[in-house]
Structure 1
Amino acid sequence: MQTGNLPDGVPHPQRSLGYQILRWAETYIVQPDGENAGQPWQFTVEQKRHILWLYAIDDKGRWLYDTACLRRAKGWGKTPLLAALCIIEFIGPCRFSHFDENGFPVGKAVGLPLIQIAATSIDQTANTRDMVRGMLANSPAEEVYDIEIGKERIQFRSGRPGRIEPVTSSSRGLEGARPTFCVLDETHHWVSSNGGISVFEVLDRNVRKTAGQGSRIVESTNAFNPNEESVAQRTYEAYRKKPDGRLLYDCVEADSDEIDLKDLEAVELGLRQAYGDSTWVDIQGLIEAIQDPRTTVSQAYRFYLNKIQESADTWMARPIWDGLLDENDPIKPGDQIAVGFDGSLYSDSTAIVGCRLRDGKLFLIHLDEDPHDPLREWQVDTLLVDKRMRAARDTYRIEWAYCDPSYWQNVVGTWALDFKERDKDGRDIVFEFSPQRAKQMCEAIERLHTAAHLGEDVCHDGNPDLARHIGNAVTYEVPQGLLIRKESKRSRKKIDAAIAAVLAYEARAEAIADGRMRVRRKARLRSY
């Protein structure tokens, strides 16, 4: 059930500050709510094991783990544990001081503690902040350590430096701060479109400046969607590359890879495995939630069974796309290609994708995306798009191009005239293809989707932007079949390169059907 690298058992008492920390925490922190509100805080056995290994040290008092990730099912108790860690790092004995005469480590408080609860928006920090405030309100720590509990910031009444504060991508002074401990909650929601990747990278740089003094990042997450390229996915992939490294990845999930969600006994077993000793969890209530028709398969797996699963309506599963990578035969000047173009002017991005005729290899020619800079108004650089399309014409042998004419009628019309004029046979090269025509678009989408799942007659060069747009696309049903779109109208997860890829692959099929593919024949030795 433990699929991370949390070691079996517990560390030796001479090799962890966690034992002293647990005694301290259960003395100075209180239960914030429920029927035991105001009573001394009690960790579960699993939470204790996490703390003991998080604060494990070597014989010189240095951390065994430089960073940590806690991946558990929804409702397991991640937020209370993170809140307790914030308090421990603020005023508790969380740094190595020395070994006593019996060889046991002795902890000390941080001299200038700066604990940051980080998220992509201030509202997302609320759960952890409120839990911290509840654990400190009317606790022994509030008076003993002279703490002022503010609505957003917790600090010392005396004015002594040190605080617990929320930070987001818009926080002033985020870059350059020197935090001693950072909590990153629900990092499966931290993606490029909401600034989560940028926040993580800034915090990581900040913490590394004082890592020698014991500063660290601890994040929590549910099982992530592998199509979203979240911070949680980054962390998981880093752990997979080096499972015996200095990243503590604590993950408990249902033991079986495939669970029939209609099999109530199997679901109950999986839930009990995933939730462990979280006795407050209503297992029967979770079973009912999973059986609710409104709960998708991916939600059941990710949030309740803690198993990585893509969204049920994702158009192209990431493993399928990754399996089409071909690094051995790069696109070369002079190759015969087809082209797909999907354009916008303001809110969406604009993409040009090529597809080699002889093997269906997709590659990104140009992508113009909104950088979401609040200080300037963004618009697609139409001159640059035109330049990239003409450069592609001069570099490759474009045999067929399908272009969405929306907002670009004049440009597409000019391409059609110029490309035909430049073709030695005077053939039409550029054709309009409107994604709004549902029947032809459904057929084009299905053509690429089927080829990808069969793994035949299609591949790609591994471009990460193209992969991102492909992964962002979700399906929806119309009478003519399945179309693809963004996950929501306001979503910043663009799919224009995915649309362009569909058009390019469809254009390839048209070029081949029209007899435009030049077949390379091997020379044969003839003897007489």
Structure 2
Amino acid sequence: MEYGAAGILYDCREAERDIDLKDEAAVRAGVIDAYGDSHWVDVDGIVAAILDPRTAPAVAYRFYLNNIQENADGWLVKAEWDACLDEDDPIRPGDQIAVGFDGSLRGDATGLVGARLRDGKLFVLGLWENPRDPKRPDWEVDILAVEAAVKRAFETYRIAWFYGDPPYWQEAIGRWAITYGDDRVFEYWTNKPMRMCEATERLHSAVVVGDVKHDGDPNLTRHCLNAVTREVPQGLLMCKDSPRSKRKIDLAVCAVLAFEARADAIADGRMQSKRRRVVGF
């Protein structure tokens, strides 16, 4: 469509809305429609970018097909996240897992998420979230409860790799490394954009192609779907929809760290370790 005014020309072409992004012929037709007579455009390159499973549907519709999208900056698509639900193979004590930890004290939530090594299944080990109760203006994270949850996780599961974001909890993470092994517990600074962008993209891609599972925990789902993306020089960074937003994403951060910990544990050969046999007398 074109709108003219004195000194202004607005020209915007939209492809057919909600085309099947996995149908190459439909995608190609949509790109050609969206770009019209812009003959210099690399149609093949754009089609390949849209078909790339790492490209979020919202990005494909908005940036390549000129479709206006609600929550276009959302990190995950609900339908794709829901498709990763697995209720048939529950996490069991003794399973080998990786863990991601993101901690706060007052404002943001503190969370602990596990990822089973053999299939990447995500599950929540703990969440401490400000209830925003006017009667409890001085609410703080129950540090002893967090410590107990970490201890319980190490006692219940075979934790191969643990990543923790250090701010506010650097001393605790150091103690956990001493207690549970500095070859298993590591700091992971989420304020390093390059590293975090890459880790975030790995989990996003796994969700898109169905290479990750989750147990349907409503808090994990809520936090993951609350997350949006912000473009930085290093790529797309996951973040809240605004700095003061009450829509928390801390479990999503934990999931990214847990999934990254799982990848590093597997790369280090730790999934080859055999389950310890417990013999009763």
Shorter-chain TM-score bucket reads 0.7 to 0.9
2:183 is equivalent to residue 428 of structure 1: yes
Residue 265 of structure 2 aligns with which residue? 511
Cα deviations by residue, 1:19-43 (Å, 9 ceiling, x for unpaired): xxxxxxxxxxxxxxxxxxxxxxxxx
Aligned match of 2:178 in 414, 417, 420?
Answer: 417
Instruction: Give the equivalent residue in structure 2 for 1:297.
Output: 68
Secondary structure at 1:507's aligned position in 2? helix
Q: Deviations over 1:459-508 (max 9, x none)?
A: 01110100000000000011111111110111100000000000000000
Question: In the alignment, what sits opposite 1:365?
Answer: 125
The 8 Å contact of residues 362 and 501 in structure 1, kept in 2 or not, is answered as yes
Q: By how many angstroms is 1:520 displaced? A: 7.2
Deviation at 1:428, TM superposition (A): 1.2
Q: Any idea what the Cα deviations from partners look like across 1:122-175, whole Å, max 9, x if unmatched?
A: xxxxxxxxxxxxxxxxxxxxxxxxxxxxxxxxxxxxxxxxxxxxxxxxxxxxxx
1:168 is matched with: none
Structure 1 residues 346 and 454: alpha-carbon distance in aligned structure 2, compared to 1, 3 A threshold: same
Whole-angstrom distance in 2 between the partners of 1:364 and 1:399: 17
**Could you tell me which of 135, 142, 153 is aligned with 1:381?**
142
Query: Once superposed, what is the RMSD of the aligned Cα atoms?
Result: 2.4
Q: CA deviation at 1:517?
A: 0.5
Report the counterpart of residue 176 of structure 1 in structure 2.
none
- Name segments (4+ residues, structure 1) moved above 6 Å: none
Shift of 1:438: 0.9
Give the match for residue 234 of structure 2.
480
For 1:1-150, list aligned pairs within 5 A: none
Aligned to 2:247: 493
Q: How does 1:211-250 map to 2 (within 5 A)?
A: none
Alignment pair present for 1:406 and 2:167:
yes
In the alignment, is residue 453 of structure 1 matched against residue 208 of structure 2? yes
SS at match of 2:167: coil
Match of 2:152 in 1: 391
Tell me the number of residue pairs that the alignment of Structure 1 and Structure 2 aligns. 219
Matched AA of 2:192 = R
Distance 1:499 1:326 in 2: 21
- In 2, Cα distance between the equivalents of 1:438 and 1:390? 30
Look up the equivalent residue of 2:78 and give its one-letter code: R
Is the Cα–Cα contact under 8 Å of residues 416 and 430 in structure 1 kept in the other structure? Answer: yes
Q: 2:153 & 2:272 partners in 1: Cα distance?
A: 18
Shift of 1:329: 0.5
Task: Establish whether residue 462 from structure 1 lines up as the match of residue 223 from structure 2.
Answer: no
In structure 1, distance between residues paired with 2:273 and 2:230: 38
Give TM-score, length-normalised by structure 1.
Answer: 0.40
Please tell me the residue identity of whatever aligns with 1:297.
I
C-alpha distance in 2 between matches for 1:397 and 1:519: 10
Q: 1:322 matched to which residue of 2?
A: 82
Residue 520 to residue 408, structure 1, CA distance change in 2 (3 Å): closer
1:126-205 aligned at under 5 Å gives the runs none
Q: 2:196 aligns with which of 441, 445, 459?
A: 441
Deviations 1:45-89 (A, max 9, x none): xxxxxxxxxxxxxxxxxxxxxxxxxxxxxxxxxxxxxxxxxxxxx
- TM-score with structure 2 length normalisation? 0.74
Alpha-carbon contact 1:511-1:517 (below 8 Å) kept: yes
- Which residue of structure 2 lines up, in the alignment, with residue 220 of structure 1? none
**Alignment partners' CA distance in 1, 2:141 and 2:220:** 18
In structure 2, what residue type is equivalent to 1:511? A
- C-alpha distance after superposition, 1:343-391 (max 9, x if no partner): 1001000000000000000000000001000111211111101100110
Structure 1 residues 379, 357: CA separation in 2 closer, same or farther (over 3 Å shift)?
A: same
Residue number among 85, 88, 113 corresponding to 1:353 in the alignment: 113
- C-alpha displacement of 1:519: 6.5
How far, CA to CA, are the matches of 2:106 and 2:147 in structure 1?
A: 16
User: Is this contact kept in 2: 1:296–1:312, CA < 8 A?
Assistant: no
- Partners in 2 of 1:501 and 1:384 — Cα distance? 20
Listed one character per residue, the Cα deviations across residues 237-294 of structure 1 (whole Å, up to 9, x for unaligned) are xxxxxxxxxxxxxxxxxxx75597x87xxxxxxxxxxxxxxxxxxxxxxxxxxxxxxx
* Percentage of identical aligned residues: 56
User: How many Å apart are 1:518 and its aligned residue?
Assistant: 3.0
SS in structure 2 at match of 1:494: coil
